[in-house]
Structure 1
């Protein structure tokens, strides 16, 4: 057992009665089935999938060169035994496609777990209060669409070459200085003289 690679895993995260958990639905490609309700767990160093799910959908497995054991954070070895196999799945989650390796391991009633290997690779944006998961590229696309989906859509064709002038960014900066600019020199502490306003004649 000493030559086996170890994988840390927090079993307490599986007890939904002890703390709120964050799940994401994974739609597995090539294996039409209901979405996998997958736990996002930063306490798990790897991704895990239940053997019952693998058998149910007949997902092909590959054998690990070095079997792994599951260790708890307190250093004790899990009673699940060695992990001998993994699977690679292409999944769709919140409009984002992922190719994810999962270690096949008994994980209770949870179909699958996404751990730190997935969190560090995908860097999802998580709203823990709302329980929402988005991905950086989705935010960038949304921001670009909000900024200006088509700057030429509302301009007549003859004005397309001047499209930049009509952009919002142009209103945030002053025009560049030119040689024929007229300067207005202010006199410090100067007093304003009363002016005369000519309202013109009525009637």
Structure 2
């Protein structure tokens, strides 16, 4: 969320925990106050993270304080707005990254974020990974998991017997929660037609 009323950049502690993002301790914890002057319920802010953040092709490395940001995963406040100086059409909810800073540091073209459209937001722990692991930093990004690896000489082959008929296997049901999770990942679902004998999961229509 872009919030001109916030002074800095904040990320929800739940996101940090769920994605196991390494945190960095602040030398001196800071007080964080909400709009009416009260200190936040979670107490002093004592850690932050360094992230590589990509939004519709706008790529940057930023630091974000770890706090409870309520319903928002991340809050981009005034320090971020002053740095990137995006063009915002408030009436239509459009944000365009076209400042001189962004053209020189964050992108090769000026992407536009439209209201109501889910941004292609990708968070990666960057810059703080040990050198040994930096080669694998993008293993879990969407671009990697949506594609199968290329065939290699040491691939294990499955040799079928000519003319053999596979045995009929059982159909396994799933719970409502499992069904919802499957349907939330449509890009991973493929339709196949088999005569019989395959291990599968029955998903209700």
**Range into which the TM-score falls when normalised by the shorter chain:** 0.3 to 0.5
TM-score by length of 2: 0.47
